[in-house]
Copies of this chain bind each other. A is one copy, B any other.
């Protein structure tokens, strides 16, 4: 049986092609965007003083672009002013623990995206406004419309990097246990344990007036995460 060719909206390059498990690689916009939209923390790698540095960073996706949040005083942000900063941005969602009968075939179900490129500092006001709004909404959709927008002074303390989604790959492992046939008779439990990130009951700020109701977008976010498990 022949499979239809997988879509390659993003053109694979040597460094966006995994050296192993290539059947898990995806290069289509739908898969990449869905993974990026399911999280808000990425790990951004860059080079400082000839050594790699990996920092967790808030991000937002807008169309085929990421906005990366930082302080205007932080190392990567300072370095990105001018010619930009070579980065690798990775987002990883863990979906399941795969417990095989053999230690070797233990695995994880996961969805990850790796983006290579040059991150550039956002300086134009209209794009900054879009980035700030998107970063807040990436964490809780709808929240940006229910808080005070940043003042010019606050905006000056924050820096945002722009990273276009051009050299991008996703890697996805789904499914069950992959034990070898000769191991199937071993007397060990085997299966998949689902893993999910959930939101607990929101804890109101003590200074909030008594009886303040939780906004609908927040309840929706909590319920949506609950249903996933």
Instruction: Check if A195 is an interface residue, CB within 8 A of chain B.
Output: yes
Give the complex CA separation of A208 and B188 in angstroms.
9
* Residue among A15, A106, A149, A194 having the largest count of chain B Cβ atoms under 10 Å: A106
Copies in the complex: 2
Give the complex CA separation of A193 and B199 in angstroms.
6
Instruction: Find out whether the CB atom of A114 lies under 8 angstroms from the CB atom of B55.
Output: yes
Instruction: Check if A162 is an interface residue, CB within 8 A of chain B.
Output: no
Instruction: Find out whether the CB atom of A101 lies under 8 angstroms from the CB atom of B148.
Output: yes
Instruction: Find out whether the CB atom of B189 lies under 8 angstroms from the CB atom of A176.
Output: no
Instruction: Check if A132 is an interface residue, CB within 8 A of chain B.
Output: yes
The B-contacting residues of A in range 154-204, CB under 8 angstroms, are 154, 157-158, 176-177, 179, 183-184, 186, 188-204
Give the complex CA separation of A52 and B163 in angstroms.
14
Residues in A lying within 8 Å of B, measured CB to CB: 15, 19-20, 41, 43-56, 58, 71, 73-75, 86-90, 92, 94, 97, 99-104, 106, 108, 110, 112, 114, 116, 132, 136, 139-140, 143-144, 146-151, 154, 157-158, 176-177, 179, 183-184, 186, 188-208, 212-215, 218, 221-222, 229
